[in-house]
Amino acid sequence: MLTGLATLLFFGFAGGLLFERLKLPGLIGMLLAGMIIGPYGFDLLGEDLMAISHDLRMIALIIILLRAGFGLNRRHLQKVGVKVLPLSILPNIFEGFAVVLLAMWLLDFTFLQAGVLGFIIAAVSPAVVVPAMLTLMNKGIGMNKKIPVMILSAASLDDVFAITFFSTFLGLYLGTQTNLGLQLLNIPLAIAIGVALGVLLGVLLVWFFKKMHMRDSRKVVLIMAIAMFMVIVERALEDVVMIASLLGVMAMGITIVERKSVLGPRLSNKFTKIWVFAEISLFVLVGAEVDPVVALSAGVVGLAIIFGGLVVRSFGVWIATWRSGLTNNERVFSVMSYWPKATVQAAIGAIPLSLGISGGEVILAVSVLSILLTAPLGALMIRFYAKRLLHVPSESP
């Protein structure tokens, strides 16, 4: 595995650096590097590394969400709180059911098959969106109206809705659950439990840090361990109760900063340094999950479904930001920021095929194609248009 890890870091670093020199987002180079050295390319990473790929990607996601938590505060969230909920719900539902209708029409899927596909595709990628929004926050771009905070928070909630709908349609197809209403009621419960758990653990950590003085590096290790345990608990209890553990991770970071503000910048700085390694691991491993042959097999129909879904998602964002106090330019930026797919599609795109669902190979192909198209496109749009559509402070480079 050491050889595979060294290969991942070397080629991921080289790919990211090359694209940054070309004035393009480095993550595109990392994704392409993963496709080239992954199992569907030259297969240089090794089976042992790919076997833990999902867990490594989850660790990277935890790191970026902790960074987000340490960069937020209650005042920021209070300013965008009313706007986050519609932005996390409407675009997801609009896109999900648009894909359902398109899949039923173009692929001759049943409603349940199409539902499984629709809510795999509907999930926005925190792995792409959150780092981009943190960069804008650090530069102060759009922070006059806290737009990066709004998009970052909504993107984290968006996945909760997408995965809930996906699990519901999957269960209905397999005959293991029949109560859609009950599943939907679980969403606010999952959010409440996740946030409450994060706040409780944040309070306990602050108390512990006051009693036990230690270096910030040790604090980082303890925070990371507890954040990982939150995800483990979610997985262990998924058949009993839903827990939005990733929201809990972010809530834990916010609580620590609220209770001991001096820790925020110091811990954020530590996690920023760790992110250098985690970012390469995340995007190279996401790229390694992409089989270009499978993606291309989706063909023109796959393209039509993906872009049709994005058009309707964009309409959903436009409605969600109506009367939000944002200008039309700011609303256009919000639309583009909500395009990228990657994390969820790479994680669950192959599940229907593995469970023997009819059309599973097509679902996988469209999922892979959505990553290939929207992750680079969304990252490019965010980077290119941020300074053109959002307020830029005079001191921002």
pLDDT tens per residue across span 19-36: 989 888 888 899 899 999
Scan for tokens 């790229």, then name that residue: 287
Query: Which pLDDT does position 199 carry in this prediction?
Result: 95
> Mean pLDDT over residues 91-105, rounded?
96
Task: Please name which of 114, 130, 47, 43 lies closest in space to residue 343, comparing C-alpha atoms.
Answer: 130
Scan for tokens 């990277």, then name that residue: 60
The answer to which of 47-61, 127-141, 173-187 has the lowest mean pLDDT is: 173-187
Give the C-alpha separation, 18 to 48, whole Å: 28
| pLDDT tens digits along 376-394 | 999 999 999 999 999 999 7
Query: Which pLDDT does position 317 carry in this prediction?
Result: 96
Sign of CA dihedral 150, 153, 159, 161: negative
Query: Which pLDDT does position 69 carry in this prediction?
Result: 86
Task: Please name which of 316, 340, 244, 325 lies closest in space to residue 89, comparing C-alpha atoms.
Answer: 316
Please check the confidence at residue 245 and state whether its pLDDT lies above 50: yes
236 is written with which tokens? 């262990």
160 is written with which tokens? 């909760």
> What DSSP assignment string belongs to 358-385?
TTHHHHHHHHHHHHHHHHHHHHHHHHHH
Query: Which pLDDT does position 326 carry in this prediction?
Result: 93
Across 201-220, b (16+ Cβ under 10 Å) vs e yields bbeebbeebeeeeeeeeebb
Burial classification of residue 394, based on how many CB atoms lie within 10 Å of its CB (0-12 exposed, 13-18 middle, 19 or more buried): exposed
Please check the confidence at residue 82 and state whether its pLDDT lies above 80: no
> Mean pLDDT over residues 309-325, rounded?
94
Query: Which pLDDT does position 249 carry in this prediction?
Result: 92
332 is written with which tokens? 């256009």
Give the C-alpha separation, 293 to 304, whole Å: 18
Across 358-367, b (16+ Cβ under 10 Å) vs e yields ebbebbbbbb
307 is written with which tokens? 């872009």
> Mean pLDDT over residues 213-225, rounded?
93
| Residue 12 banded pLDDT, cuts 50, 70, 90 | very high
Please check the confidence at residue 239 and state whether its pLDDT lies above 60: yes
Query: Which pLDDT does position 349 carry in this prediction?
Result: 85
Give the C-alpha separation, 220 to 79, whole Å: 29
Percent of the chain whose pLDDT exceeds 70: 96
Query: Which pLDDT does position 396 carry in this prediction?
Result: 45
Q: What radius of gyration do the chain's Cα atoms show?
A: 20
The answer to which of 118-127, 218-227, 279-288, 341-350 has the lowest mean pLDDT is: 341-350
The beta-strand segments (E) located in the chain are none
Query: Which pLDDT does position 196 carry in this prediction?
Result: 95
Please check the confidence at residue 303 and state whether its pLDDT lies above 50: yes
Please check the confidence at residue 337 and state whether its pLDDT lies above 70: yes
Query: Which pLDDT does position 181 carry in this prediction?
Result: 63
Kindly give, in sequence order, each residue whose CB lies less than 8 Å from that of residue 129, ignoring residues fewer than 6 positions away: 151, 152, 155, 337, 338, 340, 378, 382
Kindly give, in sequence order, each residue whose CB lies less than 8 Å from that of residue 270, ignoring residues fewer than 6 positions away: 216, 217, 220
Give the C-alpha separation, 345 to 169, whole Å: 16
- For the entire predicted model, the pTM comes to 0.83
> Mean pLDDT over residues 348-355, rounded?
85
Please check the confidence at residue 331 and state whether its pLDDT lies above 80: yes
As a whole number of Å, the end-to-end CA separation of the chain is 41
Query: Which pLDDT does position 368 carry in this prediction?
Result: 86
C-alpha triplet 376, 377, 379: angle, nearest 5°:
65
Query: Which pLDDT does position 170 carry in this prediction?
Result: 86
> Mean pLDDT over residues 272-279, rounded?
89
Task: Please name which of 61, 2, 29, 56 lies closest in space to residue 271, comparing C-alpha atoms.
Answer: 61
Query: Which pLDDT does position 115 carry in this prediction?
Result: 94
271 is written with which tokens? 């996690």
Kindly give, in sequence order, each residue whose CB lies less than 8 Å from that of residue 23, ignoring residues fewer than 6 positions away: none
Please check the confidence at residue 95 and state whether its pLDDT lies above 90: yes
Classify 312 as helix, strand or coil.
helix
The amino acid at 56: L
Kindly give, in sequence order, each residue whose CB lies less than 8 Å from that of residue 19, ignoring residues fewer than 6 positions away: 25, 26, 28, 29
CB atoms within 10 A of CB 95: 30
| Residue 83 banded pLDDT, cuts 50, 70, 90 | confident
Of these ranges, 123-132, 233-242, 332-341, the one predicted with the greatest mean pLDDT is 332-341
Of these ranges, 146-155, 299-308, 341-350, the one predicted with the greatest mean pLDDT is 299-308
- Domains, the chain, ranges and CATH? 54-389 (1.20.1530.20)
Across 20-54, b (16+ Cβ under 10 Å) vs e yields eeeebbbbbbbbbbbbbbbbbbeebbbeebbeebe
Please check the confidence at residue 355 and state whether its pLDDT lies above 70: yes
Please check the confidence at residue 178 and state whether its pLDDT lies above 60: no
